Structure 1
Amino acid sequence: MSESNAIANGLAGAGGGIIAQIITYPLQAVNTRQQTERTLLKKNKQSLVPQSSNGIATASSSGFFLQLFQVIGNEGWGGLYSGLKPSLLGTAASQGIYYFFYQIFKNKAVAIAAARKVKGRGDGTVGVFGWLIVAAIAGSLNVLFTNPIWVLVTRMQTHTQAERKIMDEKKEAIRKAASESSLAGSTLENKLAELNSTKPRPFGTVHAANEVYNEAGIVGFWKGVIPALIMVCNPSIQFMIYESSLKHLREKRSAKKQGDTTVTALEVFLVGAIAKLGATVSTYPLQVVKSRLQAKQEIGGNNSLRYSGTFDAILKMIRYEGLPGFYKGMSTKIVQSVFAASVLFMIKEELVKAIMVLANKRKKVVLKYE
């Protein structure tokens, strides 16, 4: 029964994750661009950021709506769904793997707690620390299996942004060469017109995979895995709050002698939102570092803006961008992740009920004819 319960949770998690991902994907796409956008401290701008013709640094911070309109203006509505296909695959795999292992280890934790009660130790329930361990193990396995998919998704979400910055640098280089060699105005205009007429290259999943492999080989598909593993504490915190809150609700109803201790879909939605909010705020800086590592590193052609690893990224972000760099796009992420998690929890719980009902009916039918 425990194995079928784990499979039901895995399937429900995958289904709920796909639906939540489709609904909130534009928010995620914009948020990834906000996270990977470099905004340097004033003291570093003159020396590190390519300057436009009017002297304004090309790297700038933009809010959600400005970034949203920039994406639509430059790439059309389709730009908000760049990388959706591998993202849906990643979500299905990620949620399925996570909930499958989460349920397996949850069942074992419950069994251990029950055995301890029989021996006169504990009250038979899994404590907060137990839920943290369960979520951490499931999360670590999930990260190791699915990190390559998320590297591709990040590349596809930020490809146009990176290409635009590379194009801006080429234009600036032409202007600089023109000023140093007294290049004729018509020649300068022709070169700039040629660059402006250059159409963006097609960039699908295969292109992203080739780019990652050419840059760093197979290891490149596990870029950002260290902050991702550290971020396992995100779902751990989330599920600790979630399970503890549901347990409190059921105990409260049981104390009032209402008989029915079931939790409604709306209550699951609200509890899921609160749980995800707490987890997101506490681990957001690591998410920014992970996105920076997984995105294309050729930003402005400056080595000071490229990261060789997790600690290098952290040190350079502190030095050149300050602490605000670790919280870029957090408001967008809170809205996206909290809403997605709420929808996911609500749909998952309903799908689990439906799958278990179907499984029980099938079992009864089999027993009837045996």
Structure 2
Amino acid sequence: MSDIAKSEGVQQLWSGTWTSLLLVSNPIIQHFVYEQMRSWSLQEKLRQIQRQGREIQSSSLSPAQAFVFGAVAKAVATFLTYPLQLAQVLLRLQTRRIQISVTEESNQTTEQLDTIERSYTGTIDCLRRQFASGGISALFTGMDAKLLQTVLTSAFTFLTYEQVLVLVGRIYDTVK
């Protein structure tokens, strides 16, 4: 840390902090969307039961609902935060490329090294340039692979979560 502070300045120690803080919103959005769909579904289930005059048997989602709601919630969260994730990756890749080119070509003069500059000055610059190079679609380059990975994981996570809730509810009812 002291090397970075000396060579690049103390402010570089906090480089990327705002982007990382914004990306914390991804799981928040995911859980919010999931809970909204869950709440809506359970309220609808309760209304149907009340109309039919039946007794409430379960206040949980079906496994299929949990799976679909988990997948949709993650897809929404990923869609909303993906441009920031892309910018973060691009900024990291360019920093690594600069470090590699400097170490591989250490026989360059100081003037030559100064010409190897970062192509992006920060997150906003990266997003602006991505947009300028290809419009909205450029901000979502590679999102299909990200969705495939994260949506399935999330769907199974929420499926498991709902099943654990059912199990805990049954155990609680037996102990009562």
How does the TM-score come out when normalised to structure 2?
Answer: 0.63
Residue 266 of structure 1 aligns to which amino acid in structure 2?
A
Q: CA RMSD in A?
A: 3.7
**What is the CA-CA distance between 1:295 and the residue it aligns to?**
3.8
Q: Which residue of 2 aligns with 1:267?
A: 65
Residue 338 of structure 1 is matched in structure 2 by: 151
Q: Structure 1 residues 296 and 356, CA, compared in 2 at 3 Å: closer, same or farther?
A: farther
Q: Which has the higher relative contact order, 1 or 2, with Cα contacts under 8 A spaced 6 or more apart? A: 2
Does residue 1:226 correspond to 2:24, yes or no? no
Alignment of 1:1-370 (within 5 A): 223-257=15-49, 259=56, 260-295=58-93, 297-299=95-97, 302-305=116-119, 307-319=120-132, 321-323=133-135, 324-351=137-164
Find the aligned partners of 1:214 and 1:347 in 2 and give their Cα distance: 49
Whether the 8 Å CA contact 2:33–2:73 is kept in 1: the answer is yes
Once residues 219 and 356 of structure 1 are traced to their aligned partners in structure 2, the CA distance between those partners, rounded to angstroms, is: 51
Structure 1 segments (4+ residues) deviating >4 Å: 212-223, 351-358
Q: Percent identity?
A: 24
> Cα deviations across residues 119-161 of structure 1 (Å, max 9, x unaligned)?
xxxxxxxxxxxxxxxxxxxxxxxxxxxxxxxxxxxxxxxxxxx
2:8 & 2:129 partners in 1: Cα distance? 21
What displacement does 1:330 show? 0.9
Distance 2:130 2:156 in 1: 33
Cα 1:245/1:224, change in 2 over 3 Å: same
Instruction: Give the letter aligned to residue 117 of structure 2.
Output: N
In structure 1, stretches of 5+ residues that fail to align are 1-208, 365-370
In 2, the alpha carbon distance for the partners of 1:353 and 1:221 equals 46
- Count of equivalent residues: 149
CA distance in 1, matches of 2:154, 2:65: 13
Q: 2:150 is matched by which residue type in structure 1?
A: S
1:228-280 Cα distance to aligned partner (Å, 9 max, x none): 32234433432232111111111111112151332123321111111111222
Q: Secondary structure at the match of 1:303?
A: coil
Q: Is the 8 A contact 2:60 2:166 kept in 1?
A: no
Contact 1:272–1:345 (Cα < 8 Å) also in 2 = yes
